[in-house]
């Protein structure tokens, strides 16, 4: 397969909501395969189509570890149909080289999508798992939302971005998340 160019933070495609995929064609299947190759080459666990310059509602995941192998997963036109709970997650992103920050995420979710063969599936990952958090991260990419929009420490994140030659955070894009904030406050 082919290695694709990963788009870096600052490129407008990362803020553009992706378009639905009307049909799972051989072209979409090849894009998914190339995205896996690209993700593995950059030592990632997930990659969304906008991160490789494709304005399509598609992402791939492989949350395997040496101790716990997992299947490769392709999500086409995914939708979260249930979410609850909250947690703080340490995240990075292939579009933000060397930047890792704490973000707010739901601890439980159920997602519905199509697979690489066009079959609809529903998945409820283990609460708080890497898979659960990665689904939210990659699905955000399809909606023009970035992990920095869920941040806990804006000024610390800005310093990391500057240190790595990336643009500063636009404060107007930080998501108000009163439901997550309330759950997190109650758990302290």
- Best CA proximity match to 138, nearest among 65, 36, 37, 69: 36
- Best CA proximity match to 178, nearest among 186, 188, 166, 170: 186
Residue 185 — very low, low, confident or very high, per pLDDT cuts 50/70/90? confident
| pLDDT at residue number 121 | 98
Instruction: Look at phi and psi of residue 118 and say left if phi exceeds 0, alpha if psi is from -120 to 50, else beta.
Output: left
- Residue 180 pLDDT > 70, yes or no? yes
Q: What is the pLDDT of residues 67-77, one digit of tens each?
A: 888 999 999 99
Residue 182 — very low, low, confident or very high, per pLDDT cuts 50/70/90? confident
List, in order of start, the domains of the chain with CATH numbers. Answer: 12-186 (3.90.45.10)
* Total Cβ atoms within 10 A of residue 186: 8
What is d(CA 53, CA 84) in angstroms, rounded to the nearest whole number?
Answer: 31
- Residue 183 pLDDT > 90, yes or no? no
| pLDDT at residue number 52 | 98
Residues designated catalytic: 138
Averaged over 46-71, what is the pLDDT?
Answer: 95
- Residue 47 pLDDT > 80, yes or no? yes
What is d(CA 24, CA 29) in angstroms, rounded to the nearest whole number?
Answer: 7
| pLDDT at residue number 188 | 56
Averaged over 82-111, what is the pLDDT?
Answer: 96
Q: What is the pLDDT of residues 108-156, one digit of tens each?
A: 999 999 999 999 999 999 999 999 999 999 999 999 999 999 999 999 9
pTM greater than 0.75: yes
Mean pLDDT for the chain? 95
């Amino acid at each position: 397969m082919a290695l694709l160019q990963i788009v870096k933070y600052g490129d407008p495609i990362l803020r553009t909501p992706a378009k639905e995929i009307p049909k799972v064609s051989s072209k979409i299947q090849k894009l998914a395969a190339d995205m896996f190759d690209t993700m593995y080459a950059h030592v990632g666990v997930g990659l969304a189509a906008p991160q490789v310059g494709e304005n399509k509602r598609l992402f791939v995941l492989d949350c395997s570890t040496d101790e716990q192998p997992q299947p490769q997963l392709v999500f086409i036109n995914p939708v979260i149909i249930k979410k609850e709970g909250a947690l703080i997650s340490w995240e990075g992103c292939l579009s933000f080289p060397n930047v890792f920050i704490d973000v707010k995420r739901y601890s439980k979710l159920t997602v519905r999508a199509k697979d690489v063969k066009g079959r609809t599936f529903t998945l409820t990952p283990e609460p708080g798992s890497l898979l659960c958090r990665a689904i939210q991260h990659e699905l955000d990419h399809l909606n023009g939302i970035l992990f920095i929009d869920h941040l806990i420490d804006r000024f610390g994140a800005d310093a990391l971005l500057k240190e790595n030659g990336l643009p500063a955070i636009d404060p107007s894009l930080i998501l108000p998340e009163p439901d997550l904030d309330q759950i997190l406050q109650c758990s302290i």
